Amino acid sequence: MRGTDAATLQATWTDALATALANYTAVRAGYLDELDFNLWATLFAISTDIADVLYDTSILEHKWEARTRVYPQDTQVAPQVTTDAAADTFGDWVEVIPLNTIGFDYRLLEVEIEETNRAGVFLLQFGYSATAGDDPTTAQIAGERRVHMVGTPIKLEQASKNIYGGHIPANSKLWARVKSDNASEDVLDISLVVTRSLQTTNPIGTLATWPWAV
């Protein structure tokens, strides 16, 4: 009979519910709360990881689409970098881009050697610092390039060199220094091409001993 079936179902459900409620202790309720918290924490972590991957992937696109900027903009001005009087010895660090000039993280893409006083082999090195009076540390070296200038006197641009420069923090001062194969002071007039630098969510740390300890 239908009425009997309903009564049996009700009795069975009531017994099962009573058993469940009897087993539902405060400790087990805490387990349920913890399960709920862990679930949401896991979902949040996954969504954050996905957002990080999408951001890091977009940096690849930015690398090829980023705009470039030339420094200095004044075509009548070119920073001069001078070697030491001894051969194969760096001269002093020289300011190329002043402090607080570039208001975003940037990197050096290219150096243009516009003029020099002699032919020879030159090694240019670039670095940055966060304060005007501090020379770059080894970890702050942003890149370097070696070039062989041919012909004397050199009046025209003869060297346009790409640099795979590292990340330079916003508003940092960019320095340059140079050495040559000549045992007297040589001078290079240079200009730079820079672009905006974006950091991934987990960037690889800079080595304090880059590129070598000596």
- What would the pLDDT profile of 72-91 be if each residue is shown by its tens digit? 999 999 999 999 999 999 99
Q: What percent of the chain has pLDDT over 90?
A: 41
Indicate the pTM of the whole model: 0.71
- The closest of 87, 92, 82, 90 to 117, measured between CA atoms, is 82
For residue 1, pLDDT beyond 60: no
More confident residue, 30 or 141: 141
**pLDDT band, residue 56 (cuts 50/70/90):** confident
Position 21 pLDDT exceeds 60: no
CATH class given for the domain over 69-196: mainly beta
Q: What are the pLDDT digits (tens) for 115-169? A: 888 888 999 999 999 988 899 988 899 999 998 887 656 555 456 788 887 889 9
User: How far apart (Å, rounded) are the C-alpha atoms in residues 126 and 52?
Assistant: 31
Compute the average pLDDT of residues 45-68. Answer: 76
The pLDDT value given to residue 76:
93
Intra-chain end-to-end CA distance of the chain, in Å:
97
CB-neighbour burial class of residue 168 (10 A; exposed 0-12, middle 13-18, buried 19+): buried
**Using 50, 70 and 90 to split pLDDT, how confident is the model at 26?**
low
Structure tokens at 116: 């020099």
38 falls in which pLDDT band (50, 70, 90)? low
Residues 6+ apart with CB under 8 A from 87: 179, 180, 181, 182, 183
Taking alpha carbons only, the member of 121, 114, 165 closest to residue 143 is 165
Instruction: Work out the average pLDDT over 63-77.
Output: 88
